[in-house]
Chain A
Amino acid sequence: MRLDLTHIQRWIRPKSKVLDLGCGNGEFLQMLVQQRGVDGLGLEIDQDNITEAISRGLNIVEQNLDDGLANFPDQSFDTVVMAHALQAVHYPHKILDEMLRVGRECVVTFPNFGHWRCRLYLGAHGRMPVSKSMPYSWYDTPNIHFCTVSDFEQLCADRGIKILGREMVGNTERKPLLASSWPNLFATTAIYHITR
């Protein structure tokens, strides 16, 4: 289980309705179903992931997030979750709007491109960072919209999105003081609990 996913859990109310955008192989959604008794639906686009998630007994619909969520009624879910997919969609601001329309609350996680290692890499090499957690070359990558913690909070301010809570994850499982004090520099992953 990725570290950001274990953090999201506590923002999900037991027995609530959860829509998981880009649910991958369904590991996280299954945990929510088993531990929180949620009524969950996952959207995914990868064929093998869909099969694996269905085999976990989950409801999974094949849907491309770039096509929007027009097929979902307003406020039809308690929480809409999107873990590590924001940077991979064509219009992050549009999908955020859609998430906030469909869900009463949303949880978003993304890799923080403002992390000091990214800055150092770009500064020292003058080239786009490539690392273990971001192993792609700039021209062939699913991650087409990297942003920083500050970028995201600016977007929230610009679009009237309320931040209910945030959690910063560093490199280790022990909560790093640095990441919570200077998130834009030290958080590897940012987790936001938002509403409108």
Chain B
Amino acid sequence: MSNTGQNPAAPGDSGPSMAFVTPQIAHFDEPLTLACGRQLAAYDLVFETYGELNQDKSNAVLICHALSGNHHAAGYYTADDKKPGWWDECIGPGKPVDTNKFFVLSLNNLGGCHGSTGPSSVNPDTGKPWGPDFPVLRARDWVHSQARLADKLGIECWAAVIGGSLGGMQALRWSLEYPERVKHCVTIASAMKLSAQNIAFNEIARQAILADPGYADGHYQENNSVPHKGLGLARMVGHITYLSDDAMAKKFGRDLATGTLETGSDDNVEFQVESYLRHQGRQFSESFDANTYILMTRALDYFDLAREYSHDPVAAFRHASCSYLVLSFSTDWRFPPARSREIVDALIAAGRPVSYAEIEADEGHDAFLLPIPRYQNVFIAYMQRVGAEL
């Protein structure tokens, strides 16, 4: 590890719920053979940790991020940060993933664009950015790369592997690839595989990026261009699917950002929802890598939990040995409760211990990131059990 620096705790710090956090980078020199058959000779993983690893290293919890997530899941880097990490609602002292009890590790997946090796990294063979030539990744590749990180940290078995959406799929994969290294698997707003409709949305997002002249066949870094339009559009499409109809109606209604719809006026009209989506798209296109977006959506599309278990999820889960918590949200139409029920039913048929709750929530798929009381209560209740078994 190039940086094993402790996170300096400043007692009495007000504001942030945890001491400031500092990302670390782990470098791996052993080649990693990927599901696609290609090899990565070496790679970096950027990660953060929260809480203290106990003496027997039994209290480690792995957080798996979703499509556009990264390693910064909780806390703040500096007092000037406007926002904490993306899952700060659920990670911290007294929160569901309680950092007083657990040692929490959150990392940026391989193929990401926030510090782990990915398409925007330099390909040592060519001296140029990988770009579109970066190997296609599957969730299992992330799992294997993360197992090596666990090895480095001396973590033999995770107290829990936790993830929402794509992260939930990855958590499921962890439980099948390394059954002896996972005690509990928490999968939130997820599925065993995407539906055709879901893949269709991802394809629109990819086509938007590919159609942007700035994409330059994926070699935009060498071309000194950025496919802002395409990436922004991809994000706009995605964002709509993360919200529910009701949530959008409540948040924006038909309110106008500019202009008027009065008869006799030809003001330029912009609805609030248009302005919001454009803003989201713009912001995203400035902070995310287009090739990573394509890679991550493909990993999402290709994920099929039971493929190599004769397409039988019950047979797949017979290989697992952990307990599961599955959560879904009533208005999530991207990963609807029916998909979570399929996971639960397969687990029941495989005889695995499982708990399941469908959370009433208006917020659609994004609900898994929000502090919804019933969601938090169930999550806390389950994690108390995980903590009690340490």
**Residue A65 at the B interface, CB < 8 A?**
no
How long is the Cα–Cα vector from A58 to B345 in the complex, in angstroms?
17
Contact of B356 with A61 in the complex, beta carbons under 8 Å: yes
Name B123-141 residues within 8 Å CB distance of A: none
Q: Which of A70-78, A137-145, A157-165, A182-190 contacts B (4 or more CB under 8 A)?
A: A70-78
**Residue A35 at the B interface, CB < 8 A?**
no
Contact of B351 with A62 in the complex, beta carbons under 8 Å: no
**Residue B94 at the A interface, CB < 8 A?**
no
Task: Give 20 A-B contacts (CB < 8 Å), ordered by A residue.
Answer: A41-B354, A50-B357, A50-B378, A51-B377, A52-B381, A54-B325, A54-B357, A54-B378, A54-B382, A55-B380, A55-B381, A55-B385, A58-B355, A60-B356, A60-B357, A62-B356, A62-B358, A71-B341, A72-B349, A76-B351
Contact of A59 with B323 in the complex, beta carbons under 8 Å: yes
- Chain B residue nearest to A59 (CB atoms) is B353
Q: Which secondary structure dominates chain B's binding surface? A: helix
Number of inter-chain CB pairs below 8 Å: 54
Q: How far is the CB of A41 from chain B (nearest CB, A)?
A: 7
Q: How far is the CB of A189 from chain B (nearest CB, A)?
A: 29
Contact of A59 with B355 in the complex, beta carbons under 8 Å: yes
| B residues adjacent to A (C-beta < 8 A) | 323, 325, 341, 344-345, 348-349, 351, 353-358, 360, 374, 377-378, 380-382, 384-385, 388
Contact of A55 with B349 in the complex, beta carbons under 8 Å: no
Contact of B323 with A47 in the complex, beta carbons under 8 Å: no
Q: If the complex has contacts A50-B378, A55-B385, are A61 and B353 also in contact, measured as CB distance less than 8 A?
A: no
Contact count band on A: 10 to 19
Contact of B384 with A61 in the complex, beta carbons under 8 Å: no
Chain A residues with Cβ below 8 Å from B377 are 51
Using an 8 Å CB-CB cutoff, how does the interface string of A88-130 with B read, 1 for contact, 0 for none? 0000000000000000000000000000000000000000000
Chain B residues with Cβ below 8 Å from A76 are 349, 351
Contact of B358 with A61 in the complex, beta carbons under 8 Å: no
Please tell me which one of the listed residues B341, B358, B381 contacts residue A54 in the complex, with CB atoms under 8 A apart.
Answer: B381
Contact of A62 with B348 in the complex, beta carbons under 8 Å: no
**Residue A57 at the B interface, CB < 8 A?**
yes
How long is the Cα–Cα vector from A63 to B355 in the complex, in angstroms?
11
How long is the Cα–Cα vector from A2 to B345 in the complex, in angstroms?
31
Q: How far is the CB of B327 from chain A (nearest CB, A)?
A: 10
How long is the Cα–Cα vector from A55 to B341 in the complex, in angstroms?
21
- Chain A residue nearest to B352 (CB atoms) is A59
- Chain A residue nearest to B328 (CB atoms) is A62
How long is the Cα–Cα vector from A54 to B345 in the complex, in angstroms?
18
Further contacts, 4 of them, CB under 8 A, given A52-B381, A54-B357, A57-B385:
A50-B357, A55-B381, A55-B385, A76-B349
Chain A residues with Cβ below 8 Å from B341 are 71
How long is the Cα–Cα vector from A58 to B354 in the complex, in angstroms?
9
Chain B residues with Cβ below 8 Å from A60 are 355-357
Chain B residues with Cβ below 8 Å from A61 are 344, 348, 354-356
Contact of B385 with A54 in the complex, beta carbons under 8 Å: yes
Which residue among A55, A63, A72 has the maximum number of chain B CB atoms within 10 Å of its CB? A55
Chain A residues with Cβ below 8 Å from B378 are 50-51, 54
How long is the Cα–Cα vector from A145 to B344 in the complex, in angstroms?
30
How long is the Cα–Cα vector from A71 to B343 in the complex, in angstroms?
11
Contact of A71 with B345 in the complex, beta carbons under 8 Å: yes
Chain B residues with Cβ below 8 Å from A51 are 357, 374, 377-378, 381
Contact of A54 with B348 in the complex, beta carbons under 8 Å: no
Contact of B374 with A72 in the complex, beta carbons under 8 Å: no
Q: How far is the CB of A174 from chain B (nearest CB, A)?
A: 38
Chain A residues with Cβ below 8 Å from B385 are 54-55, 57
Using an 8 Å CB-CB cutoff, how does the interface string of A4-48 with B read, 1 for contact, 0 for none? 000000000000000000000000000000000000010000010
How long is the Cα–Cα vector from A51 to B323 in the complex, in angstroms?
17
Contact of A72 with B388 in the complex, beta carbons under 8 Å: no
Chain A residues with Cβ below 8 Å from B356 are 60-63
Contact of B349 with A71 in the complex, beta carbons under 8 Å: yes
Contact of A57 with B388 in the complex, beta carbons under 8 Å: yes
- Chain A residue nearest to B388 (CB atoms) is A57
9 closest A-B pairs (Cβ-Cβ)? A55-B381, A71-B345, A54-B381, A61-B356, A57-B385, A59-B353, A51-B377, A62-B357, A60-B355
Which residue among B348, B349, B374, B388 has the maximum number of chain A CB atoms within 10 Å of its CB? B348
Q: How far is the CB of B360 from chain A (nearest CB, A)?
A: 8
Which residue among B344, B381, B382 has the maximum number of chain A CB atoms within 10 Å of its CB? B381
Contact of B358 with A41 in the complex, beta carbons under 8 Å: no
